[in-house]
Structure 1
């Protein structure tokens, strides 16, 4: 499997990685979730080369994760907003942040906490079963081939 061919794999993770799988893209998304929208603000906060940022933003727009919206006509200026597809990445991003907090935050603790506005409490991400609501433990999950598995694919080799 080659990095440039991930989008052609019959694997949802590989296809997702083709869209969001490089470090700059994940950091651009972090900033988007922190409500950064304008090119110069992304560039200033990330310290990323303008060419690299331009490529990452275009890639996310091309894949429908961000949308480019004009906020000024004279001169023409755009900002980048998360789409519904982009907002759906929130559980992924917050889970990575909280994983980093657990294993890499340092002795003083996490640099940023996340507060649920509805209840007013800081929270930690927890993955739960959509059917019974219980917290999921990877040792208690069994993958099996889905309707998109193809003959000869790795997914076909999964057993119940």
Structure 2
């Protein structure tokens, strides 16, 4: 049990970091260019870049650079990232069943 707690806590810190869930959801649909994610997500370019770098460092996201003109960069999930698919889907299922529209509106007002 002593090994489980730090691992579980690390996993929760990763997936609960603000915007990570939405970024993972985007990439679960396939490769994306930075500009596509930036226009699809309500997040600043700087913060998106920071989150992608963090996820890349953790081995969850990979950055693919294509030597074209102009250079094309796409982000995709690694096997480690793809393994989060059932987790993200279950959180989505849980939220649809248990989070009300009122709770979402209250959160928007607080932020």
**Aligned match of 1:64:** 59
What displacement does 1:47 show? Answer: 2.1
Aligned residues: CA RMSD: 1.9
**Aligned match of 2:6:** 11
> Normalized per residue, which structure has more helix?
2
Mapping of residues 6-45 of structure 1, within 5 Å: 11-45=6-40
What displacement does 1:92 show? Answer: 0.8
Change (3 A) 1:17 1:78: same
**Residues in 1 aligned to 2:75 and 2:100: alpha-carbon distance in whole angstroms:** 29
Q: Which runs of 4+ in 1 moved over 6 A?
A: none
Name the TM-score, length of structure 2 as normaliser: 0.78
Bigger Rg over Cα: 1
1:19 and 1:59 in contact (8 A); partners too: no
The secondary structure found in structure 2 opposite 1:67 is strand
**Residues in 2 aligned to 1:47 and 1:101: alpha-carbon distance in whole angstroms:** 20
1:67 and 1:83 in contact (8 A); partners too: yes
What displacement does 1:101 show? Answer: 1.2
Specify which structure has the bigger relative contact order, considering alpha-carbon pairs within 8 angstroms and separated by 6 or more residues.
Answer: 2
Name the TM-score, length of structure 1 as normaliser: 0.56
What displacement does 1:36 show? Answer: 5.0
What displacement does 1:105 show? Answer: 6.2
